[in-house]
Amino acid sequence: MRSAAERMQHMRERRRARGLREVRLVVPDARSRTVRRRIAREVARLDAADEHAALTWIEAVSEFDADATR
């Protein structure tokens, strides 16, 4: 029987042969109190006018995309 490392390597080779590529993501852990505090501080520093402008732009683009698919 193959070791776990050999099985993983074989699986990666099969995926590569099918044109797939493994991607690993490392993201902040939202369950962490420290991370939640940091996010809260960053959100508090956001400029309401900038956020409104961004949301308005997103809505405009979304409407444009919806019209293009009809």
Higher pLDDT, 4 or 62: 4
Residue 8: closest CA among 25, 31, 24: 24
Mean pLDDT of 35-60: 95
Mean pLDDT of 41-64: 92
- Tokens at residue 11, please? 């699986």
Q: Rounded mean pLDDT of the chain?
A: 90
Mean pLDDT of 15-23: 94
Residue 28: closest CA among 17, 38, 18: 38
Query: Does residue 68 carry a pLDDT above 60?
Result: no
Model pTM score: 0.49
CA-to-CA distance for 21 and 26, rounded, in angstroms?
16
